[in-house]
Amino acid sequence: YKFTSNDLIDRGIIGEGNFGIVCKMLHEKSGTIMAVKRIRSTIDERGQKQMINELDVVMRQNNCPHIVQFFGALFKEGDCWICMELMNTSLDYFYKFVYHKLDQFIPESILAYITYATLQALDYIKSRWGIIHRDVKPSNILVSRKTLKLCDFGISGQLIDSIAKTRDAGCRPYLPPERLDPTRSTREGYDVRSDVWSFGITLYEISTGYFPFREWTSPFDQLQQIVEGPSIELKIDRLSDNCKNFVNTCLNKDENQRPKYKELLEHSFLRRAKEVQQIENVSVYLSDIIDGLENNTDKFQLYYYLPHKN
């Protein structure tokens, strides 16, 4: 069905990102509650039409259970509103709550499922629509009581272009060495293996509770740490060699040696994640943590950077 911004009732802010805010909104006629991402946009009318067409394709043929559902996009007062399914939280809040509030860790079987679900989504958007995500990070993996869903992938070439103009590489901590190093030729095309790196950082973070680099002071400092610094390696006794091997191959500094999705999907770390029993265990776990998060009244501080304790 078609709707306009007049049909939506604002129910408050959910979160804020680099390019705008995400609000909870009620579509009154249908009683649907949604998450609406509002991005400041400079797209002209022709661009807007094209963008809506691009999003339409994604809305119509989304058969992947791990991709967030879209309701549509609209333009209001120069903002682009992307309307999508409302989830309970995102992995950044989730993992910070588990590690730093509950003082627990995410069990390996759950890590394996998160990995499997996200990989399926990344592989799907690439093989089905030819989309490379370009912004894989914990806050773009949404969590509900039942499952996980990927969001914020570059659906629309139009939107990517308008955002790229305002984007500053210095505030993008998940970029791989080949995207930061000005001397490398790979800066032209974006390869899925750049997303594999960002995914590796994401997995490191949710496995340990910490972002793997110390906080950098400038884009140059970031470049030095990531491009010239030693490789990062996940080393934790509690985790299996299978798990560590999976994460560490994603974090290979040489992008040519990083695996692509098909290969990762065959990795033995994910063998059990595909079983029905496992999927049921996951929803029990997710539900439990989300209950905790929703009942958490003393809003504990969520630091964006939680560099590794050395």
Q: Which residues are annotated as a binding site for ATP?
A: 37
36 binds, among ligand ADP, Mg ion, none (CB under 5 to 8 A by kind): none
Smallest distance from ligand ADP to CB 205, Å = 13
Taking residues 95 to 134 in sequence order and writing x for each that binds Mg ion by CB under 5 A, - otherwise, the string is ----------------------------------------
In angstroms, give the least distance from the CB of 306 to ligand ADP: 15
Annotated active-site residue in 92, 123, 135, 152: 135
Q: Is 90 in the site for ligand ADP (CB under 6 A)?
A: yes
CA 269 to CA 108: how far, in whole Å?
A: 10
**Which run of H or E residues covers position 72?**
strand 70-76
- Residue 152 found at the interface with Mg ion (CB under 5 A): yes
Taking CB under 6 A as the binding criterion, the range among 106-114, 137-145, 184-192, 215-223 that sits at the site for ligand ADP is 137-145
Q: Taking the chain, what is the end-to-end CA distance rounded to the nearest angstrom? A: 54
Tokens matching residue 288 = 């439990």
Q: What share of the chain is helix, strand, coil (3-state, %, to 5)?
A: 45, 15, 35
> What distances in angstroms separate CA 50 from CA 77, 130, 156, one per listed residue?
18, 17, 8
Q: Is 17 in the site for ligand ADP (CB under 6 A)?
A: yes
35 contact choice in Mg ion, ligand ADP, none (CB below 5 to 8 Å, kind-dependent) = ligand ADP
Side-chain half-sphere CA neighbours of 181 within 13 A = 17
The minimum distance between CB 14 and Mg ion, in angstroms, equals 11
Please list, in sequence order, all residues whose beta carbon lies within 8 angstroms of the beta carbon of residue 272, skipping any fewer than 6 positions away: 109, 112, 278
Query: Contact at 8 Å (CB) between 9 and 162?
Result: no
Check binding of 140 to Mg ion (CB under 5 A).
Answer: yes
Under rule CB under 6 A, residue 282 binds ligand ADP:
no
Say whether 44 is catalytic: no
**Rounded Cα–Cα distance for residues 280 and 264 (Å):** 23
Binding site for ligand ADP (CB under 6 A): 14-18, 22, 35, 37, 68, 84-87, 90, 92-93, 139-140, 142, 151-152
Positions marked active-site: 135
